[in-house]
Amino acid sequence: MKIGYDMNAELDREKKPLSDGQILREITDAIIEGRLSPGDKLGQDELGKVFGVSKTRIRPILHRLNEQKIVVIEPMRGAFVARPSVEEARAVNAARQIIEEGVIRAATRVARVKDLKALREIVAEEHNARLTRNGGQAHRLTGEFHCELARITGNEVVADVVRDLVSRDNLVVALYQRPNAAACSLDGHAALIDRIAEGNEDAAAHAMRHHLQDVMDSLNLGPKTGPSKSLATAFAHLRQD
């Protein structure tokens, strides 16, 4: 009988392969945080090697991301991070203004103290991320704030719609936002929390429209190009030493 602590066995247990949902989240986060850029190729073989799975597991994950409009799949060429057009950028922002005005009205009616605390914690995390110049994490937290607002409404369908729109808008912002323009999100989010805390639906809806318009105004909707990033670099944090 083997007695004692087996460190290798413990490490093997810690290296369990990621689930399909975790892989999807890793790819989404890499896109949202700017580790992958619009237009970057998402090769199935290379992604399989990155995540230690077969490409047959990667294929349906890419199709799910394609359905969410954050990945495009081109016949005979493969999958790429979506590159939203100027027209799509405007349409996504307009859709967010329509939907999230209703979201914040509903959230204002039902928000509890713990909900406001959760929103303030996200803003604090975003603030810290910007102080430490972790732009990728700050970008992700900006979207998480709006997803949390939708969650507060208690309507799962609305929450799903907002999450999809936020993911698409994150690509727009990553591609088109002017340098140093992101700081407005902190002030905008703080104002939204204040209006919810006051219980004033009309003021909250006005603040949301103003905030999302600020996001739109922060964009430079001209042509953008940039060097592609390697998948190995984008997912370097997953490497095992």
Reported as a single tens digit per residue, the pLDDT across 156-212 is 999 999 999 998 998 888 788 776 665 567 788 999 999 999 999 999 999 999 999
Torsion of CA 210, 206, 98, 162, to 10 degrees: 80
Residues 50 and 99 in one domain: no
Residues 103 and 45 in one domain: no
Tell me, yes or no, whether 168 lies in a domain: yes
Could you list the beta-strand ranges (E) of 51-106.
Answer: 71-74, 78-81
SS3 41: strand
Give the global pTM. Answer: 0.76
Residues 106 and 69 in one domain: no
In the chain, the number of structural domains is 2
Letter for the amino acid at 162? V
Tell me, yes or no, whether 76 lies in a domain: yes
Residues 167 and 91 in one domain: yes
pLDDT in tens, 115-172: 999 999 999 999 998 888 887 788 889 999 999 999 999 999 999 999 999 989 988 8
Task: Give the distance, in angstroms, between the CA of residue 115 and the centroid of all CA atoms in the same chain.
Answer: 20
Per-state percent for the chain, helix, strand, coil, to nearest 5: 70, 5, 25
Where among 52, 83, 114 does a domain terminate?
Answer: 83
